[in-house]
Amino acid sequence: MEIYVTLIQLLDSTLRLSAPLLFACLAGLYSERAGIVDIGLEGKMLAGAFAAGTVAAISGSAIAGLGAALLVAMLLSLVHGFASITHRGNQIVSGLAINFIAAGTTIILGQAWFGQGGRTPSLPNSARFTAIDFPGAEAVKDVPVIGYLYAELISGHSILVYLAFLMVPLTWWVLYRTRFGLRLRAVGENPAAVDTAGISVPWLRYRAVMICGLLCGLAGAYLATAQGAGFVKDMTAGKGYIALAALIFAKWRPVQAMFACLLFGFLDASAIRLQGQSLPLIGDVPVQFMQALPYILTVILLAGFIGKAIPPKAGGIPYVKER
């Protein structure tokens, strides 16, 4: 029973740690399916987290913080779209610029406004998205196997965790069962054919990057107002890049993306739980190794799968309308 409890607790942590990765991974999926490579996921998440932490600390409202995160991440996405769609600039350079701007600006503004080394003030529970307990969760907690599973793994997460996993079937439905999704996938493969059909390629791509911004804003808000209690300097810690690795590993498909993010989340949760533990035949596991484990897997997956995964054909290529 002790092993079962430990496993459920590990899976519970996995869900919580996977949520921001899943938001960012789906954000990249929309953008790249439309042919816009976006490595600025990290910067938009970070800016969104800072906006959410700042506004939630000032207003005392998690909803206001979420709205600020969505707005800031959306604006950065529009900047990326303006550079890469309207002006047909290099998409990699534009994404990197967003990452650098967000990393520097959040620290400068955080220090200027709050004087806490780039942090925002700690948020009370009233200004955070706290855990939601499902009906009867506490009553059935002591029921063997099923009760503990319901009370600990299914119940007890913030609304943003449930929203992250709800976005997976929603994204699948949008991409594969709607006219917008069909056009979105087509513009990432053959924008000239879409243009010939009388559909605006720039407008489709702008809508994709706007959806990308909204999802990155959700990821940032989750980090600052649900998983954490305020913004901390560089709190994304490379999650945007891990989300990109998960997207490539999943071959730009939403359901596979969910499982890839769960894998990274499981490794992250395992790293936290195994720090300082002694393992059979291995002994004490160095803390630094466990902390680096998700990033090591990122490198391995990119090295092993980036050649096998076939991205959208028009990805990263600015579209120039033929006259």
The 3 state secondary structure assigned to 74-92 is HHHHHHHHHHHHHCCCCHH
Secondary structure of residue 120 in the 3-state scheme: coil
Q: Which residues pair with 278 in a beta bridge?
A: 284
Whole-structure pTM value: 0.92
State the Cα–Cα distance between residues 171 and 207, nearest whole angstrom: 14
Q: How far is CA 72 from the centre of its chain?
A: 15
Burial classification of residue 5, based on how many CB atoms lie within 10 Å of its CB (0-12 exposed, 13-18 middle, 19 or more buried): exposed
- Please say whether the beta carbons of 226 and 63 come within 8 A: no
Instruction: Give the per-residue pLDDT at 30.
Output: 95
H helical segments located in the chain: 2-33, 41-59, 62-81, 91-114, 146-148, 159-177, 179-189, 191-196, 201-222, 239-249, 254-274, 287-305
For tokens 């808000």, the residue is 221
| Count of CB atoms situated within 10 Å of the CB of 56 | 31
Can you spell out the DSSP letters for 236-269?
Answer: TTTHHHHHHHHHHHTTT-HHHHHHHHHHHHHHHH
**Segment-wise mean pLDDT, segments of 10 residues, the chain, 323 residues:** 80 92 95 92 95 94 95 95 91 93 92 87 91 82 79 88 96 95 92 88 94 96 93 90 89 92 88 68 66 74 66 79 63
Q: What does the alpha-carbon distance between residue 249 and residue 293 come to, in Å, rounded to a whole number?
A: 17
